[in-house]
């Protein structure tokens, strides 16, 4: 599969919190930092996500905001 997104970060699923419509997936990248993705429950089911799965976080964004 080819993607137009250039930011692909590999990691391991550490936690999955399910809701009725959305699922929060916490991904450990490099032993310290985490990425949390919110995806539909249907997508999580299709991917058969489980803690310990190695996944890729694909980040496509036109804006990055920083606040201090």
Examine residue 1 and state whether it is found in any structural domain, yes or no: no
Give the CATH number for residue 54. Answer: 2.40.50.100
Q: Containing domain of residue 20, as a range? A: 7-59
Cα–Cα distance measured from residue 42 to residue 53, given in angstroms and rounded to the nearest whole number: 17
Examine residue 51 and state whether it is found in any structural domain, yes or no: yes
Summarize the confidence of residues 4-12 as an average pLDDT.
Answer: 86
Which three-class secondary structure string do you get for the chain?
CCCCCCEEEEEEEEEEEECCCEEEEEEECCCCCEEEEEEEHHHHHHHCCCCCCEEEEEECCCCCCCCC
Two structure tokens written together for 14: 């550490």
Examine residue 54 and state whether it is found in any structural domain, yes or no: yes
pTM, 2 dp: 0.82
pLDDT digits (tens, 9 = 90+) for 16-45: 999 999 999 999 998 778 999 999 999 999
Cα–Cα distance measured from residue 19 to residue 28, given in angstroms and rounded to the nearest whole number: 21
- pLDDT greater than 90 at residue 14: yes
> What is the domain count for the chain?
1
Examine residue 2 and state whether it is found in any structural domain, yes or no: no
Examine residue 67 and state whether it is found in any structural domain, yes or no: no
What is the model's pLDDT at position 24?
96
Examine residue 65 and state whether it is found in any structural domain, yes or no: no
pLDDT digits (tens, 9 = 90+) for 44-55: 999 999 999 999
């Amino acid at each position: 599969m080819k993607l137009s997104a250039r930011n692909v970060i590999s990691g391991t699923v550490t936690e999955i919190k399910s809701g009725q419509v959305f699922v929060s997936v916490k991904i450990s990248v490099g032993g310290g930092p985490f990425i949390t993705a919110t995806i539909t429950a249907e997508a999580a089911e299709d991917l058969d996500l489980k803690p310990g799965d190695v996944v890729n976080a694909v980040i496509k964004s036109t804006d990055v905001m920083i606040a201090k």
